[in-house]
Structure 1
Amino acid sequence: MNKINTPEIVFYQKLGELFYAVAAADRVVREAEYKVLSTLVEEEWKQMDDYQDQFGADAVYQIAIVFEWFDYERMDAEDCLTGFSNYYKKHKKLFSVKRKQLILRTIDKIANSFRGTNKSELIMITKLKMLFNTN
């Protein structure tokens, strides 16, 4: 594993912010959404990169840490989407086609984890897809 510096860890933190925004779009983050995110971090995101944070932990766990923290703080979903969007616009080079595909797959699975995708989640997913399709 490679040790990474703070700017690279921020990438994972911003993903946690985005995934929280989708889960909280309907103002309630459900246990099913936590479980899906946890499974995806373990089974798919850990395979994406091979980095450690400054404590020697897999840096990809920043996704779940931020997701849980934002839920604890009851952050506003729209503010979180805006925060992610601003980050994306400034750091597009970090978002390869493969990473974008995994991000979209992750948000789709989070949104579908509890009774299917609702209107609020669908709007947020659409906004993200539009963001990814702009140059």
Structure 2
Amino acid sequence: MNQKSHIEFYRRLGHLFFAIAATDNCVRDEEFKTLQTIIYKDWLSLNEDAKYILETFNELQSNEEHNPMTCFQRFVDFKRAHPTLFDTTISSKILKTASAITTSFSGQNKSELILLAKLDLELKKK
């Protein structure tokens, strides 16, 4: 995978994690702090380009016009266009990160559970 694809991969993860955090129309500090911790602990050890996850998340959060479902669909479109990037290990890490975001503030709500289920189904598709 070339450098541009790598960066785009992490940017699309930023879209996904923003969609997960914002699906209830509010990104809580706890959700962002959880994401930050996981990125530094688990993702940056894979590749330093993972910093683009947080960069993209911050850009989306600072521009309130971004719709969580549009961001989710951008991730899905990228995943479908580049299925080889999403092996079992990466898919598991994505799901684990998304789940951690949703449980960081007073448990998971219905909209978060629905989006997590859609993500799980999408990641299982080849």
Question: d(CA) in 2 for partners of 1:123 and 1:129?
Answer: 10
Query: 2:74 aligned with 1:76, yes or no?
Result: no
Offset at 1:46? 1.3
TM-score (norm 2): 0.95
Q: Could you list the runs of 5+ residues in structure 1 that have no partner in the other structure?
A: 50-57
Q: Provide the aligned C-alpha RMSD in A.
A: 1.0
Equivalent in the alignment of 1:52? none
Q: Deviations over 1:45-70 (max 9, x none)?
A: 11223xxxxxxxx3110000001110
- Which structure's residues are more often helix, by fraction? 2
Equivalent in the alignment of 1:130? 121
Q: Deviations over 1:46-98 (max 9, x none)?
A: 1223xxxxxxxx31100000011101112100001111000000001011111
Larger radius of gyration: 1
Question: d(CA) in 2 for partners of 1:79 and 1:107?
Answer: 17
Question: d(CA) in 1 for partners of 2:35 and 2:49?
Answer: 15
Write out aligned runs for 1:1-135 (5 A).
Answer: 5-49=3-47, 58-74=48-64, 75-135=66-126
Q: Could you list the runs of 5+ residues in structure 2 that have no partner in the other structure?
A: none
Moved over 6 A (4+): none
Question: d(CA) in 2 for partners of 1:70 and 1:108?
Answer: 20
TM-score (norm 1): 0.88
Question: d(CA) in 2 for partners of 1:8 and 1:110?
Answer: 23
Letter in structure 1 aligned against 2:59? W
